[in-house]
């Protein structure tokens, strides 16, 4: 196979950057690089070192962006596409992540690139966006569905949505997870005064759609010595993130760790008693896959993306229903043993959500796209999977 050069847009970068897309890219692209692909990821300064660097065979190039939530992704995408177009030798393919940067799919095609877009979910459903931003995200979803040579959906829910709204066939390639080795308590638990098996864990950004405010309300008067740990933070501090921290500070049993990644986050996962994901919106939640990889019991909001992974009725609750969440939470904490499904799900994690298989499927799609003539898009049989 001749050298395949791929430019990646739409991620803040990696390693150790908070976010599902960032974790996705951190796991996927080193595996593709190991298969002989030349991968350049255009990341964002402010999250990464100032100069370009190599991470496990992947070249990461930090570029500037306007550090405001409404402008960061758009400004970075413009600059990244410009850099991709002027780089020599020329890239064979541009892979765009998320529907916001997907807005630039037509421009990337005009520049002569083959385009793959990964749709990580309908971001216009996020509560942080105003009317204009939601309109642009809808447009990004539409034009990426129309003009990309191939579209990847990380969940079957997204796959069905694209088919229904745009008649666009997409390829289901999910997020993945690495099933970890077990580990005991260490310096991270000691730092936060945590006891193994005596805390409920939630992981993610401090944004309204994650529903952490509901979880805080449900965790009043936790039984025994159980505590609540919120592992995460805000990319851009706003009224919501500040109010969440103020609400948490009123309960001495709540601990906010800040953004933790890598081994520190692994230690927190490995020693938790219960994981909770109270989201209103998800694409395919990596944090849930990660929690399940530690055989953690999990409570999840009954939204389609969560139910693709975990649909046990006693372990789900309607999003936003604090009383139902509280009832399920206290019932889960009263159990002396983990439910049987935590063990059954391990086989599915290895089979369906395996990063090595995900890399193989992504490479196969790249080769399919590159085999098409330059003017073909979704009319191309090999692209329209």
> What pTM was computed for the model?
0.91
The upper half-sphere exposure of residue 302, i.e. CA atoms within 13 Å in the direction of its Cβ, equals: 13
Give helix 156-166 / helix 131-147 axis angle, nearest 10°: 90
Give helix 341-352 / helix 286-293 axis angle, nearest 10°: 120
The upper half-sphere exposure of residue 129, i.e. CA atoms within 13 Å in the direction of its Cβ, equals: 18
State the distance between the two ends of the chain, measured CA to CA, in whole angstroms: 22
Question: Which pLDDT belongs to residue 338?
Answer: 83
Nearest 5°: phi and psi at 308?
-65, -30
Nearest 5°: phi and psi at 365?
-70, -40
Q: Is 104 in contact with 85 (CB distance < 8 Å)?
A: no
Instruction: In whole angstroms, give the CA distance from residue 10 to residue 29.
Output: 14
Radius of gyration of the chain (CA): 21
Question: Which pLDDT belongs to residue 181?
Answer: 82
Question: 5-176+354-370 has which CATH code?
Answer: 3.40.50.2000
Question: Which pLDDT belongs to residue 381?
Answer: 43
Give the CATH fold of the 187-348 domain.
Rossmann fold (3.40.50)
Question: Which pLDDT belongs to residue 379?
Answer: 44
Structure tokens at 276: 């909770």
Question: Which pLDDT belongs to residue 130?
Answer: 86
If you search the block for the tokens 């086989």, which residue do you land on?
Answer: 347
In 79-190, where do the E strands start and end? 93-97, 114-119, 150-153, 171-172
Name beta bridge partners: 9.
96
Question: Which pLDDT belongs to residue 42?
Answer: 98
Question: Which pLDDT belongs to residue 69?
Answer: 76
Whose CA is closest to 63, among 137, 120, 9?
Answer: 9
Question: Which pLDDT belongs to residue 349?
Answer: 94
Equal CATH topology for 5-176+354-370 and 187-348? yes
Residue 37, CA distances (Å) to 30, 121, 366 in order: 9, 27, 11
Question: pLDDT below 50 — which residues of the chain?
Answer: 377-379, 381-382, 384-385
Query: Across the beta sheet with 5-9, what order do the strands follow?
Result: 53-55, 58-63, 38-44, 5-9, 93-97, 114-119, 150-153, 171-172
pLDDT in tens, 295-336: 999 999 999 999 999 999 999 999 999 999 999 999 999 998
In 282-384, where do the E strands start and end? 298-301, 316-317
Residue 269, CA distances (Å) to 28, 45, 60, 200, 332 in order: 22, 29, 28, 10, 17
Strand bridging mode 227-231 / 274-277: unpaired
Q: Is 17 in contact with 47 (CB distance < 8 Å)?
A: yes
Listed by start position, the domains of the chain span 5-176+354-370, 187-348
């Amino acid at each position: 196979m001749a050298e395949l050069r791929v430019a990646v847009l739409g991620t803040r970068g990696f390693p150790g950057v908070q976010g599902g897309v960032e974790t996705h890219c951190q796991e996927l692209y080193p595996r593709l690089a190991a298969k002989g692909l030349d991968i350049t990821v255009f990341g964002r300064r402010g999250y990464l070192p100032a100069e370009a660097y190599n991470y496990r065979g992947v070249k990461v190039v930090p570029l500037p962006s306007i550090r405001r939530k409404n402008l960061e992704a758009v400004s970075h995408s413009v600059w990244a596409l410009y850099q991709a177009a002027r780089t020599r030798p020329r890239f064979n393919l541009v892979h765009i992540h998320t529907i916001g940067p997907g807005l630039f799919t037509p421009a990337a095609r005009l520049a002569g690139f083959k385009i793959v877009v990964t749709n990580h979910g309908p971001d216009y459903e996020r509560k942080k966006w105003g009317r204009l931003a939601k309109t642009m995200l809808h447009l990004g979803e539409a034009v990426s569905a129309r003009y990309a040579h191939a579209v990847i959906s990380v969940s079957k829910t997204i796959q069905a949505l694209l088919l229904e709204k745009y008649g666009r066939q997409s390829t289901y390639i999910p997020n993945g997870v690495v099933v970890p080795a077990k580990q005991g308590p260490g310096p991270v638990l000691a730092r936060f005064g945590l006891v193994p098996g005596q805390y409920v864990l939630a992981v993610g950004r401090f944004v309204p759609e994650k529903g952490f405010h509901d979880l805080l309300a449900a965790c009043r008067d936790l039984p025994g010595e159980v505590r609540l740990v919120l592992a995460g933070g805000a990319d851009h501090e706003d009224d919501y993130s500040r109010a969440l921290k103020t609400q948490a500070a009123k309960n001495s049993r709540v601990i906010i760790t800040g953004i933790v990644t890598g081994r520190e986050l692994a230690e927190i996962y490995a020693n938790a008693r219960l994981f909770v994901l109270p989201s209103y919106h998800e694409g395919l939640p990596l944090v849930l896959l990660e929690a399940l990889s530690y055989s953690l019991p999990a409570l999840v909001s009954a939204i389609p993306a969560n139910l693709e992974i975990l649909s046990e009725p006693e372990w789900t609750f309607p999003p936003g229903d604090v009383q139902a969440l509280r009832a399920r939470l206290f019932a889960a904490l009263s159990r002396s043993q983990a439910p049987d499904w935590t063990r059954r799900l391990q086989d599915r994690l290895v089979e369906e959500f395996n990063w090595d298989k995900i890399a193989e499927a992504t490479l196969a799609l790249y080769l399919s796209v590159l085999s098409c003539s330059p003017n073909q898009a979704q009319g191309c049989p090999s692209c329209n999977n």
